[in-house]
Amino acid sequence: MSQFYSNGKLLLTGEYLVLDGATALAVPTKFGQDLLVSKITESQLIWGSFTHTGDCWFEAVFDLPKLRLVSATFNSDTEENAEFIAETLQDILQEARKLNPGFLQSKTGFIVKTTLTFPRDWGLGTSSTLVNNIAQWAAIDAYQLLQNSFSGSGYDIANAQHNLPILYQLKNKKPLIKTVDFSPQFSDQLYFVYLNKKQNSKEGIAKYKENNDDFKNEIHRISEISLEMCSVKSLLDFERLIEEHEQIIASIIKLKPVKELLFPDYLGAIKSLGAWGGDFVLVTGNKSTLQYFKEKGYETILSYSDMIL
């Protein structure tokens, strides 16, 4: 039996522009996904994906070594379906085999169980943690597997593999990763609020890539903000960086910042994380100000210490 684990992720700075070389600040979460592999005598891959509550939300059976899909079952009220999920998984496994031709070529088979430690709709890296776990199992480069299956900047793979905050940059399409001591003195005034909907990062990336403008200056300033956030001493200065970052990204993707759109009367600062329009936002405040979000119907609020590894 083999077991693999990958951390979830949150991108604090650099969303979208990290694709074009901006230095981003990203943090691993206390939540993630594990993958358990057991050998069986049958020449099949029997796959089961489980939620954080232990419910099986997806099952599939593949014949080995051809990786032919035999059956798939999907239990969810989302727009996805069993065939789509199964084909996505099949694509990842096939790409893994291209990188390691001996992967899943044995005459015997496997039972695989994947388990999330967070709700699927939280957007903390359901796909990236899966890709990194499969890459560990197949003994291949997780960044290459990501590019071949989902694309993206790869910061989420870096978070999956590192237990500390990182500065992440793509240079000549290769990841540059530096672990940093991001431990704000005011971390007890930082919270993560879930916006009650999962955002499709692939759609956000596609929309950004439609823009052909030159963002050289914006990339430079966002990189500076990422570095400044690592050393900022006061909450007020941190909030100023958040607000400047939001305005820069808003001007690029032609969307209103989330505070302006949903919470214009909130006293603290609010920053979108990752693809704008869903998942979590970072907010500054205290336990009393958080009642504001609950009154607006946003019940999932995690403190910095509860979320960040």
pLDDT tens over the chain, length 309 residues: 999 999 999 999 999 999 999 999 999 999 999 999 999 999 999 999 999 999 999 999 999 999 999 999 987 655 567 788 999 999 999 999 999 999 999 889 999 999 999 999 899 999 999 999 999 999 999 999 999 998 889 999 999 999 999 999 999 989 999 999 999 999 999 999 999 987 666 666 666 666 767 899 999 999 999 999 999 999 999 999 999 999 999 999 888 999 999 999 999 999 999 888 778 999 999 988 889 999 999 999 999 999 999
Q: Which two tokens stand for residue 138?
A: 């197949």
CB 150 within 8 A of CB 200: no
98's CB contacts (< 8 A; 6+ apart) are: 148
What are phi and psi for residue 32, nearest 5 degrees? -170, -150
Please give the model's pTM, rounded to 2 decimal places. Answer: 0.93
Alpha-carbon distance of 155 to 168, in angstroms, equals 6
Summarize pLDDT for 61-86 with one digit per residue, the tens: 999 999 999 999 987 655 567 788 99
118: helix, strand or coil = coil
What are phi and psi for residue 147, nearest 5 degrees? -60, -40
Alpha-carbon distance of 73 to 41, in angstroms, equals 23
> Do you find a cis peptide bond into 101, omega within 30 degrees of 0?
no
Alpha-carbon distance of 126 to 85, in angstroms, equals 12
Summarize pLDDT for 157-174 with one digit per residue, the tens: 999 999 999 999 999 989
What's the distance, Cα to Cα, between the start and end of the chain in Å? 27
Summarize pLDDT for 191-209 with one digit per residue, the tens: 999 999 876 666 666 666 6
Query: Which residues face 168 on adjacent strands?
Result: 24, 177
